[in-house]
Structure 1
Amino acid sequence: MTGSWFPELHTLAHWAAGRLGTDYDMGAPAWVHPLMHLILVLAPSLLFVSILALLFHAARQALQRHERRGPRRQTPARIGGLERNLLRQILRNTRRQQVGLLLLSLSLMPPLYLSLEMPKQIVNNVLEPSADPAEVFGLTLSQMQMLGLFSAIYLVAIALNGLGKYSLNTCKGRVAERLLRRLRLLIYRQWRRRPPPHRQNDVVQVLGAEVEPIGGFAADLIALPVTQGGTLLTILLFMFLQDPILGAAALTVLPVQLVLLPYLQGIVNRLSRERIRAMRVLTRRLAGQLAPEQSALLNIRQTAASLRELERIRYRIHRIKFLAKVLNNFLTSLTPFLFYSLGGYFVIEERITLGALIAVLAAHKDFSAPLKELFRYYQQLEDTRIRYREVLGFLIEGRGALVEGATEPGRV
Structure 2
Amino acid sequence: MEPNIFKYVWHHSRPEQLFILLLVIISLPFYYFSLNLPKQIVNQGIQGQGFDGPGATQPFFRLEMPFGERFFGEPVLLFDGLSLAQADMLTALSLVFLSLVIVNGLFKFVINTRKGRLGERLLRCLRYELSDRILRFPLPQIRRVKPSEMATMIKDEVEPLGGFIGDAFATPIFLGGQALTALAFIMVQSIWLGLVAAAVVLFQAFLIPRLRRRILVLGRERQLTARMLAGRIGELIDGAVEIHANDTTNYERADLTARLGRIFKIRYEIYQRKFFVKFLINLLAQITPVNYGQVCHIFLSIMKFY
> Shared fold (TM-score greater than 0.5)?
yes
CA contact (8 A) 1:191 1:199 kept: no
CA contact (8 A) 2:192 2:292 kept: no
Instruction: Output aligned runs, 1:190-229, within 5 Å.
Output: 190-194=133-137, 195=139, 196-201=142-147, 202-229=149-176
Structure 2 CA distance, aligned partners of 1:103 and 1:174? Answer: 17
The one-letter amino acid of 1:320's match is R
More helix by share: 2
Structure 2 CA distance, aligned partners of 1:165 and 1:203? Answer: 36
TM-score by length of 2: 0.80
Structure 2 CA distance, aligned partners of 1:310 and 1:154? Answer: 49
Residue 293 (structure 1) aligned to one of 237, 242, 246 = 242
Match of 1:83, SS state, is coil
Match of 2:83, SS state, is strand
Deviations 1:349-391 (A, max 9, x none): xxxxxxxxxxxxxxxxxxxxxxxxxxxxxxxxxxxxxxxxxxx
CA separation of 1:200 and 1:110: change in aligned 2, threshold 3 A: same
- Offset, 1:283: 1.1
Instruction: Output aligned runs, 1:3-402, within 5 Å.
Output: 82-129=1-48, 131=51, 132-136=56-60, 137=80, 139-194=82-137, 195=139, 196-201=142-147, 202-290=149-237, 291=239, 292-294=241-243, 295-339=248-292
Match of 2:303 in 1: none
- Offset, 1:327: 1.6
CA contact (8 A) 1:261 1:324 kept: yes
CA contact (8 A) 2:215 2:273 kept: yes
Match of 2:71 in 1: none
CA contact (8 A) 1:192 1:199 kept: no
Match of 1:234, SS state, is helix
CA contact (8 A) 2:57 2:84 kept: yes
CA contact (8 A) 1:105 1:227 kept: yes
Structure 2 CA distance, aligned partners of 1:206 and 1:324? Answer: 29
TM-score by length of 1: 0.60
CA separation of 1:138 and 1:113: change in aligned 2, threshold 3 A: closer
User: Which portions of structure 1, spanning 4 or more consecutive aligned residues, are displaced by more than 4 angstroms?
Assistant: 339-346
Deviations 1:206-251 (A, max 9, x none): 1133112222111112210111011001101111111111111212
Pick 1 or 2: higher relative contact order, CA cutoff 8 A, min separation 6: 1
The one-letter amino acid of 1:111's match is F
Structure 2 CA distance, aligned partners of 1:209 and 1:330? Answer: 34
Match of 1:191, SS state, is helix
The one-letter amino acid of 1:148's match is T
Q: In terms of mean alpha carbon deviation, does 92-101 or 297-306 score higher?
A: 297-306
Deviations 1:61-117 (A, max 9, x none): xxxxxxxxxxxxxxxxxxxxx212212211121111101110111121111111111
